Amino acid sequence: MGSNASRCIAFLIDFLLMMGQRYGILVSMVVFYGRKVAACSLQNFCIHFAVLLHICCSVTAKLLQYYCKYMCSVTANRLQRHCKKHAVSLQWEVPVYQ
């Protein structure tokens, strides 16, 4: 998931740089410990930034949802198969202890 977030941030920086070049917005690049840091005015583009961030986060959330749904389904099926073997014997023993 971390690499997805890194790609998302890199994509957003590239997008903002492209918008800065296209529309003449002041964009400065600073090299800080080997990483590019983009400082730019988001006044006109904060909506685009928010939409792109939402899309990237939605994709990550959807992937997590699919993974969790799959794991829960697999776990439930295994648990059901395991419990099915013992259900009959448990059915007779539980009333004794009630």
Q: What is the pTM of this model?
A: 0.40
What pLDDT is recorded for position 80?
A: 84
Domain positions in the chain are 2-97
User: Whole-angstrom Cα distance, residue 1 to residue 3?
Assistant: 5
Which residue has better confidence, 47 or 53? Answer: 53
pLDDT level of residue 42 (50, 70, 90 thresholds): very low
**Residue 75 backbone zone (phi > 0: left; psi -120 to 50: alpha; other: beta):** alpha
CB 56 within 8 A of CB 89: no
